[in-house]
Structure formats: C-alpha cells, structure tokens
Structure 1
C-alpha cells in the first residue's frame, strides 16, 4: 500500500510539474536579456486610447474612438448626462483616409464611450464587409455593442473574455490581462457598472458603463510584443512576467493610484519603448492634431515628459516615444 501511495504521489508531482511548465508564459527575449526588434511593426495613435497596429499581413485595432464628442460639464467635470453624439461622417473619413485597412482583430478595454462608441460603425463599414473581424471584449461591452446595433454577423464573431485567456490567432497570440480603471483624486471614477443583457439603446455618455476593464499583451510570431492598456491603472500581480517590447501607457488622471508609473515600469521589466496614451483633450479634431504647425503645440507632451522623468529615474534606458495623431511610425 505504501509503495502504491508513493507511486501515486510521484505521478501527481510529475503531472503537476508538467502542468506548471505548460502554463508558463513563453520567454519572449533572446539570450542575454535582449528583446525582440520592433522592425516591421507599425503603430498609429488614433487619439484618446485608440491604436492601430500592423505587423506583416496582420492588423489590429485597440479602443478606436474617433468621434471626439463633448463630454464636460461647464465646470470641466465629466458629465454622464450629456447626449451620446457620435460623428459618423468624421469616423468614416478617418477610417477611409488614415487607417491601413480592415483589422483582423479589434480589442476593447472596457465599455466607456471614449473606447466603445465608434466600434459599431467601424464594424459595419461597407469597405470592410468582405473581411472577417474578430472582437475581444467583456460581457458588458458585448451587450452594449448589441444595444448600439452592431451588425449581427460581427456580434457573432465577438469573443467574450474576462482576463486570464491566452489566445492563439494566425501569426500572433493575445493574452488578456485583468486590469483596473483609472481613478480620480477622490478615488471614484466615471460610469461604473455592468450589463448582463442588452439594454435599451444608449442615449447618454453614462449609458456606456465600464463593465470589466482589461489590458492586452499581443505577441507577433517572429516579431515584438506589445502591451496595450486603455486606462491609467494596473492590477500589478496580473502583469508579472509579461516583459513587453513596447508598452502603451494610459496617462489620464492617476493621482489616486500609488506610484503608478514606477510600479508599471518595474513590473513590466522596463520596456525598451513606452508610448503615452489617453493624454489628449479628447475634443480637438484629430485632423487638426495631425497637421498642427510647429510651435502651436508643445514640443513634448506633458504625458511624455512625465514618462521621461519616471523612466530616467529607473535608469534602464527606456525610450519614450511621443506619438502624433494619425501618423504611422515604427516604435524603435
């Protein structure tokens, strides 16, 4: 009987070791701690938290919000009672003139208007009708997309996620990371809430509630890895071991988050390249941001300057790239 127990224990230990080894994240770095080259990767900031990524034949969109609708009360606070007014003509023009083509995957961090409001229109574009577009989002965002009349065939291609998923796609993988929403100085935040069924058609900014906030780690086969966050917060333990080559860092108000930038850079292993995101005024037309004459905007955005300071304090050689709206670039 003892011998049988020992055999069972040895088998269980062996199986447990196998499971643990199988569940480990792949090491994305070459020998000596070097990381993957960003050659071949192009990125385009779409304003607010929106990004387009291209690597080879693969295209991804993250939180594409192009409408730039009014969102503030007269005293400058976020006003959830304001009407939800997307800008269909502007969205279509930017998609036609500035985006590189239909994405293979659309990633949504959470359900707020400045992340989700334009997704139904983009999914319904006639120019993309012949291209399959998968969407990753949580249950709440899925229900909100249905309430905003996203096309049924696109809704059928939604993959509901909640954090922890590690998904294989042709030519790349996506790891879904549990995250947290940005918090104001008094520790609250805009429009919390969840939806377990499609609500009535949203009419106000506050009708688009947060749901579950997610971040994403995209790893391109034979290429770099990119961490994408739509908020200025983190669930630190969820990021352990990720070590991206490029990190998109939300830079909205984070005064209530303890050592936000320091903790983020440290847990991500001081990425070689970081990009500020969600740091513009959210209302200036993107075309104006993209074509602003030299001297009319700061040479360095305050968000990039804050990241410069945080990165310099760590002394790891992280480079901060300050993006220009709608301009494609390689983050090197």
Structure 2
C-alpha cells in the first residue's frame, strides 16, 4: 500500500512562486501519474481561504466511487464496494438477474472498523457490500436515502443503525461534520437512468442487482475540523444551486460515461468554486479484481480528454488520478 501526501498550505506557498509544472508536482508529493499542476495561486474562493488547517485526512480509493476516510483514529466509508463481480456490464450485455454477491476476502482487510457509512444511492455498485460491513465488520451507522434505508433493512441491517437523509442536513461527529447534498444520478445514452425507482417501504429481501434501484442520489461534503473539506460524488450529475458555497478543498468528481448532461464539467467546477484538488472517480471497470493500474471503463482517450478538460476549465486545479488502495493524505 503506497502513500501520497498533500499539504495545502505548502501547496499555496510553493505554487505561488513555482516557475514550472514540475516544481509544483514535487511540492505536492503526489504520484507521478497525477499530472502537473499549473503555476500560480491555488484555486478557490473566500470560503476556502479562511479555513484553519492543522488536521489532515487519509483517503484510500476502493474503485468506483468508494472511499475509506481516516480522520485520526476514526474511519468513515463512502460507497464501499469491493466485491466487484461480473454482471456483464463491460462485456457486451448486463444480466439484471445477476445474484448479489459479497466477497469478505477483499472487504475484511480494507475497511477497518468504520463508525459511519455514507451511501450516495442504492445501485449494487454502491450498496452491495454495505450490509455486510455494517453487521459483520462493524456496527457502523448507514446514511442514505429512504430507499437505501428500506433496502438495507431488508438486507438485515438493524434499523437502529440506519439514518435516512435527503439533503440539507449538517451532521456533527466532533472531529468532522457531514453535509448531505441532494444530487442527481447520471444519464445513459438514452437520457435515462439504469434501474430507476424508489422503495417507500421495506421490500422482500433483494437477491439480484435489479432489486437495488437507484432510489434518488446524494452527495456528501465532509469537513474535517481544522482540516480540509472533502466532497464526494457517486454519480455524474448534480444540482448546481445545491453546491453553492460548499467550496471544497478536494473534490471527488464522477466521470460521465456519456455526454447526456449538458456542460457537465464547466458547470460542476464553477459550482464547486474550482477546488484546489480534483480526483476523478467512477471511471474504472469495477467488474474485475482490484489491481493497479486500474482498468478503465471505456475509451482511455476519452478519459484522458476529461482529465485535460478539468485542467483547461480550472487551470489552477491539480488533478490526481487515483490508484486502488493507495493512501492520499490531504
């Protein structure tokens, strides 16, 4: 397991005087594949500039939009999906009847003992492993939509561990706060959503991936006390007005599989006030085992163009293309 460190105060000092992109890369201590940062002051606005930063957070990417976040000795997870079984999605035709499967051999070594799990929406590649983690690996509290609440309950998570949220909540956990943001799911090439639907009551026990509908979508802003603000997306659409004023330091933004959403990246970067660091997520093939470098979903040239577009839209933003289970410290 490798480690990358990002010290934003150092970033502000160094990039202000850096004459080359290479100098910025050395100052950040980021992996070589993260790409160069533009010289000049760091991105961001007044809301970001006034924060004190004496604390840090360590992040590890699980693939898809999944993360482990360690703040001191406390752990929270976002969309932790590690089982990564084949549904046919990347091999020519998905089978909706694919059985839900949990792989403890990859989950157990990587999730720690989380106290909270944040779920952006209820599709299998976000919710699949959550019931196991919340009942076998820990007694974590699970935050998500009402659909997530009912599906998790149907998968044997005690209701006392389930906390339905809808957007607008700001939850205080002492060392950090979590702001819940009402958001949107990405659109497919037919301008629709795969496995749409909500669950307004507890259904029969889900058995297949089709039994886990989207059920509305959330995003989360995690503010580390005296540390960075981290923004997590689970799908590639959003409501711009809901992001106003968040101004995260580090934004985990979802890679759009299609161009169905108009001006996705320019609008997103503007709404987030051009974060100092952007980490693309949900760009990998999540139906093959975890191995580095990650296997991309679709055309590598299209993903490379997306990364370059972030730099073009927000020249002072640093882009880090993550590797699996690598620690990034912000």
Compute the TM-score of the two structures, normalised by the length of structure 1. 0.79
Q: Which runs of 5+ in 2 are unaligned?
A: 1-45
What is the count of residue pairs matched by the alignment?
284
Q: Which runs of 5+ in 1 are unaligned?
A: 1-26
Compute the TM-score of the two structures, normalised by the length of structure 2. 0.79
The SS at the match of 1:121 is helix
* Counterpart in the other structure of 1:24: none
2:81 aligned residue (65, 68, 78)? 65
* Counterpart in the other structure of 1:8: none
* Counterpart in the other structure of 2:105: 93
Matches within 5 A, 1:162-177: 162-177=166-181
CA-based RMSD of the aligned residues comes to: 2.5
Moved over 6 A (4+): none
* Counterpart in the other structure of 1:214: 218
* Counterpart in the other structure of 2:132: 121
* Counterpart in the other structure of 1:263: 267
Whole-Å Cα distance in 2 between the matches of residues 165 and 218 of structure 1? 12
Contact 2:206 2:212 in 1 (8 A): yes
* Counterpart in the other structure of 1:319: 318
Contact 1:50 1:65 in 2 (8 A): yes
Whole-Å Cα distance in 2 between the matches of residues 187 and 304 of structure 1? 20
Whole-Å Cα distance in 1 between the matches of residues 317 and 308 of structure 2? 11
The SS at the match of 2:197 is coil
| Closer, same or farther: CA 157–314 of 1 in aligned 2, 3 Å | same
Q: CA deviation at 1:77?
A: 4.0
* Counterpart in the other structure of 2:240: 236
| Closer, same or farther: CA 327–302 of 1 in aligned 2, 3 Å | farther
2:58 aligned residue (12, 32, 42)? 42
Whole-Å Cα distance in 2 between the matches of residues 309 and 250 of structure 1? 15
| Closer, same or farther: CA 186–30 of 1 in aligned 2, 3 Å | same
* Correspondence 1:29 to 2:48: yes
Q: CA deviation at 1:275?
A: 0.7
**Which has more radius of gyration?**
1
Q: CA deviation at 1:314?
A: 2.5
Q: CA deviation at 1:247?
A: 0.4
Matches within 5 A, 1:167-316: 167-286=171-290, 289-290=291-292, 305-316=304-315
| Closer, same or farther: CA 212–37 of 1 in aligned 2, 3 Å | same
* Counterpart in the other structure of 2:150: 143
* Correspondence 1:56 to 2:72: yes
Contact 2:71 2:175 in 1 (8 A): no
The SS at the match of 1:97 is coil
* Counterpart in the other structure of 1:12: none
